[in-house]
Structure 1
């Protein structure tokens, strides 16, 4: 998706577009809020573990990602409602040097949407804009059923690989299509 390739979803006001470097603070805030609702409020991860990754660190991390996202190796798209980023999808090309065990050469690094926008079609629009129908893989939290159902509807199934995410003290499973 190029910066000029913008579209609305289902006639609604939110728009899906390519992320720009100046989106880093907005993506970081949205990511922070999403982690609060998805992981802390649901009891999956403790507040201390989530908040150990500070908002300032997230902003800097997103600045680095977006500065590097101008080539074919990385695609970051955002859902924007008015002037607020309400979701994002982040995908990257993977080669044997990055991950020799990768089952595909495309990884969905993340897809997050604020709770108020879930179930509206924006998550699907973000996934479609980031990876389309291409074969890909992702890592998902083992016990999180809502995201797993979304990915299953999109052809992703567990391939048996599991890995701990030690920062949050959780187990993740790899989903592949």
Structure 2
């Protein structure tokens, strides 16, 4: 019998190609109609995998990449670390990315990855976790809101191939205040 539980673990170098497939598949699915199709069409798994390997080789330990396995195959990826306010890192945590194989949307993989990122950031003593999401990405916004994140009013311009695709910031408190 297959084990359909979701297992979260730190990403390893051999995961880079699969993570690139998931990331690009996620972009092409989640951002269709939100960013120019011309940009989505130029995304290349091999180039992205090489970029992942390069990042992985230069990792200083401040950023954590996690993968989710189901049925023995990597089905999702999340990455978090210190919040970046410009070039300055703050005491808050930031979810830099989270992507799930588009064929597995709704299977709890994204939720499991997000919960583990929140758990690890809380254990590390971060007070808040922040993230940026495309303003018009209603599906992602609902996902984060169900997980306790709220838009905090901050917005950033973002442009892809000359088209404005603004981002909004979401925040979630991680520790109880006394």
- TM-score, normalised to structure 1's length? 0.79
Q: Could you tell me which of 106, 126, 139 is aligned with 1:119?
A: 106
Partner of 1:175: 170
Looking at structure 2, the residues matched to 112 and 89 of structure 1 have their Cα atoms a distance apart, in angstroms, of 6
Counterparts of 1:51-62 in structure 2 under 5 Å? 51-62=41-52
Counterpart Cα distance in 2 of 1:93 and 1:66: 16
Instruction: Measure the CA separation in 2 of the matches of 1:121 and 1:74.
Output: 23
Q: Which has the higher strand share?
A: 2
Corresponding residue number in structure 2 for 1:128: 115
Q: How does 1:3-42 map to 2 (within 5 A)?
A: 12-40=4-32
Calculate the TM-score normalised by the size of structure 2. Answer: 0.79
Task: Please report the RMSD computed on the Cα atoms of aligned residues, expressed in angstroms.
Answer: 2.3
Q: Deviations over 1:95-130 (max 9, x none)?
A: 667337x6x521100111123222222111101222
Distance 1:80 1:23 in 2: 11
Task: Give 5+ residue unaligned stretches, structure 1.
Answer: 1-10
Runs in 1 of length 4+ with deviation above 6 angstroms?
none
Aligned twin of 1:46: 36
8 Å CA contact 1:91–1:131 kept in 2: the answer is: no
Change (3 A) 1:108 1:158: same
| Equivalent in the alignment of 2:154 | 161
Q: Secondary structure at the match of 1:143?
A: coil
CA distance in 2, matches of 1:128, 1:152: 13
Aligned positions, number: 162
